[in-house]
Structure formats: structure tokens, C-alpha cells
């Protein structure tokens, strides 16, 4: 009996389950990589979150904003001597050397949509162990061997791992080795961590909270806190739906924030002089106190009163300001274990539109607001 575990994203799991069942095997779907019975093979389906137009723009070909959770999952199976077939969902070529190195087979499935079952057709053999269907697809783009252009980071990547038109079928010789370079050209952990730019970037997720529910996910074009006193709307900025209008109507303390499932060490960024940098415009000046908080796993946190600064900004005028990470450290934040880098809190009427939030050292001293 064969057991297939598909931990991350559902790739027409019904199709995969049916194909395996048809040859006398069993499947087990797991989102975290755990299993009741050790599988003969793990089919790890992972990839980019949906995006459109400018919202999905990236400054390099590094996958998932440099977050390694999918790679860690693949490695966890390998550590248990479980073969891994990695199925990567993407709309563009990305630098995936580490994931390729740690997979026994690596399949670029692009964006199969409702036809994900077709991937199961080529992945699962018949009852005699022979391919039911062979791979015939070939690369329509060069596949990169690096995340940036070595000579000029502003130019397209030139180093290629595979050329357009290359691909494999069953029985073909391997095209790449399993010792590809995994070291990025830029140590992103020291330079920048994008929290929101058009959309929340991995590992960050968007939430609102109040006394009714302090962790309510934001989804769709319009969301509100449990008591309805905080409303988040997706609006157009530089491109379609790339900004978030956040409005407190007053009456209950409510918070808007980004959070990750894991704790993040941002001390290397502090050492580089980084700040929490925000691009936004004030739509309605605050009628009461507004605090900017950073959390480091409950009850660890630190907050700054930014009411005066927000009241000083003209309404409707986009601004880019930053708060040094050392300011949050001074008010109690443990920068080695941050899970929420941006938490905006108020109980009084106030509204702003946020275009970009990131941790970065790339900000002039004139744009830093200090520690309050």
C-alpha cells in the first residue's frame, strides 16, 4: 500500500487520491507534514499566493520573500528517509535551487487551476508501475540559476539553470545536479523584510482585532473587526487594489496588524540600522490616542505613542516615515522573536491608507521620526 502525503496546497487532492486508490494505494492529506502512517513518498505541493498586476511585483527572483518554511517541510521528510516529489505552483520562473537540491523530483506545474487532476495523471503510475501518461511539457522561459543579476541588480537575471525548451520525461537523464548553489547574492535577512507591498508578503498575514476577537483574519475587499468599529477596505493606489484603507469609527479599542505564525529574528536588521518604514496617507486625522506596537510573542511587546506625529501630517498627502528598530527595543520588544512588526491601535475616529510597510535600512535620516 502506498501512502502519499500532500502537505501544503491542495492540488486537486481528489484527483491525486483517486489515481492512487485506483492502483490499490492510500493517501493522507496533511497541512503540516504530520502523518498517521509513514508514507512511501511525500508529494509536497507548494507555491506562490495569487496575485495580479503590480501587486505581485518582486525585486528579485527569490521565492516567498526569502521565507524557508516550505523548504523546511521538504527537509523534514528527507530527514525521515521519505522520498519527496515537489510540485511547485507558480506563474513565473523563480530561483529554487535549495528546493530542487532537497527534492527527489521537482515538477513545475505552473498554474493548473481547476485542472490540477491532470498533474496526478503524470505523477501516478498504473498498477504495474508504468507511467500512465508521460511528461511532454517544456520550459517556455529560461529557468534562473540566481535570484539577481550579478553585475547589476536592476537588470534581468542572466544566469540560467535551464534554457527555454528544456524539460524531462520518464527515463530521461537528469538535467541538473543536486548540489546547486543555495546562497543568495544578498543576505535579505540583513537588508530588508517586506511586510506589505500591494499584498501581505510571506510570512506575514493581515488581521484586525478588538474585544470580541483579537485575531480576525482580513480577507476579501472589505473586512471589519468583531464589533465593527474598525473597517479595512482594499483600494487602488499606484495600481489596482494595491493599498489598504483602514478606518476606526470610534467606540472600542481596535487594532490592525500583520502577524506571522512563527517568531522572527530581526536583530541582524537592527545591527544594520534598519527601521520599520511605512508609506501611507492620512485620510482623517486621529481624534484620540494612536499607538504603534510591535509584538514578540504574548505578553512580550512594546508600543510608541505616535498621535502627535500623525496629527502633524496633512490629510491626503502621501508620506514615507520610519521608526528605528532600536526604538521598539527600548520599550521592551525582543527583536530576536518578533511575530507582529506592525500593530496600529486606537479607540477614536481615525483613518489612513497604507501603501507599503517594510523593515529596511534604506531610509534617510530625515524620514525617521525617532522614538516618540
pTM over 0.85: no
Per-residue pLDDT of the chain (372 residues; tens, 9 = 90+): 455 555 545 555 678 888 898 999 999 988 888 999 999 999 999 998 877 767 788 889 999 888 888 999 999 999 999 999 999 999 999 999 999 999 999 999 998 887 778 899 999 999 899 999 999 999 999 999 999 999 998 899 999 999 999 999 999 999 998 899 999 987 665 678 999 999 999 899 999 999 999 999 999 999 999 999 999 999 999 989 999 999 999 999 999 999 999 999 999 999 999 999 999 999 999 999 999 999 999 999 999 999 999 999 999 999 999 999 999 999 999 999 999 999 999 999 999 999 999 999 999 999 999 886
C-alpha pair distances (Å), 228 with each of 156, 208, 219, 259, 282: 46, 10, 15, 21, 21
| Residue boundaries of the structural domains of the chain | 3-185, 189-367
Q: Which 8-state DSSP code applies to residue 319?
A: E
Q: Write the DSSP symbol of residue 226.
A: T
Q: Rounded to an integer, what distance in angstroms lies between the CA atom of residue 306 and that of residue 315?
A: 16
Q: Given this model, what pLDDT does residue 56 score?
A: 80
Whole-number pLDDT of residue 1: 40
For residue 180, the cross-strand partners are: none
pLDDT of residue 10: 53
Sign, CA dihedral 108-111-113-118, equals negative
Alpha helices, H only, 91-145: 97-101, 117-123
CATH value of 189-367 in 3.40.50.1240, 2.60.120.430, 2.60.40.1840, 3.40.50.720: 2.60.120.430
- 3-185 belongs to CATH 3.40.50.1700: yes
CB 106 within 8 A of CB 119: no
Amino acid at each position: 500500500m502506498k501512502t502519499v502525503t500532500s502537505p501544503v496546497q491542495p492540488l486537486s487532492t481528489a484527483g491525486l487520491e483517486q489515481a492512487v486508490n485506483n492502483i490499490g494505494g492510500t493517501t493522507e492529506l496533511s497541512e503540516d507534514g504530520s502523518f498517521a502512517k509513514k508514507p512511501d513518498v511525500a508529494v509536497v505541493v507548494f507555491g506562490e499566493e495569487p496575485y495580479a498586476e503590480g501587486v505581485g511585483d518582486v525585486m528579485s527572483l527569490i521565492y516567498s520573500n526569502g521565507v524557508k518554511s516550505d523548504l523546511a517541510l521538504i527537509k523534514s521528510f528527507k530527514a525521515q528517509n521519505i522520498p519527496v516529489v515537489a510540485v511547485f505552483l507558480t506563474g513565473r520562473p523563480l530561483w529554487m535551487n535549495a528546493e530542487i537540491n532537497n527534492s527527489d523530483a521537482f515538477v513545475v506545474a505552473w498554474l493548473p487551476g481547476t485542472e490540477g487532476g491532470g498533474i496526478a495523471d503524470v505523477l501516478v503510475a498504473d498498477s504495474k508501475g508504468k507511467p500512465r501518461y508521460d511528461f511532454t511539457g517544456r520550459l517556455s522561459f529560461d529557468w534562473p540559476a540566481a535570484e539577481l543579476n550579478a553585475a547589476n541588480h536592476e537588470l534581468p537575471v542572466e544566469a540560467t539553470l535551464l534554457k527555454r525548451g528544456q524539460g524531462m520525461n520518464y527515463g530521461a537523464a537528469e538535467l541538473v545536479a543536486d548540489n546547486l548553489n543555495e546562497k543568495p547574492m544578498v543576505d535579505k535577512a540583513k537588508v530588508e523584510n517586506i511586510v506589505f507591498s500591494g499584498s501581505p508578503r510571506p510570512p506575514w498575514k493581515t488581521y484586525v482585532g478588538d474585544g470580541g476577537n483579537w485575531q480576525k483574519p482580513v480577507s476579501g475587499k472589505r473586512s471589519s473587526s468583531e464589533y465593527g468599529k474598525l473597517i479595512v477596505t482594499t483600494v487602488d493606489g499606484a495600481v489596482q487594489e494595491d493599498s489598504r484603507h483602514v478606518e476606526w469609527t470610534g467606540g472600542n479599542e481596535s487594532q490592525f496588524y500583520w502577524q506571522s505564525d512563527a517568531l522572527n529574528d530581526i536583530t541582524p536588521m537592527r545591527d544594520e540600522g534598519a527601521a520599520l518604514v511605512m508609506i501611507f496617507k492620512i485620510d482623517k486625522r486621529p481624534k484620540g490616542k494612536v499607538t504603534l506596537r510591535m509584538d514578540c510573542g504574548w505578553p512580550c511587546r512594546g508600543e510608541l505613542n505616535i498621535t502627535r506625529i500623525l496629527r502633524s501630517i496633512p490629510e491626503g498627502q502621501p508620506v514615507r516615515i520610519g521608526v528605528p528598530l532600536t526604538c521598539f527595543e527600548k520599550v521592551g520588544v525582543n527583536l530576536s522573536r518578533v511575530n507582529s512588526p506592525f500593530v496600529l491601535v486606537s479607540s477614536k475616529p481615525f483613518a489612513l491608507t497604507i501603501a507599503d510597510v517594510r523593515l529596511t535600512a534604506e531610509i534617510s535620516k530625515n524620514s525617521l521620526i525617532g522614538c516618540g
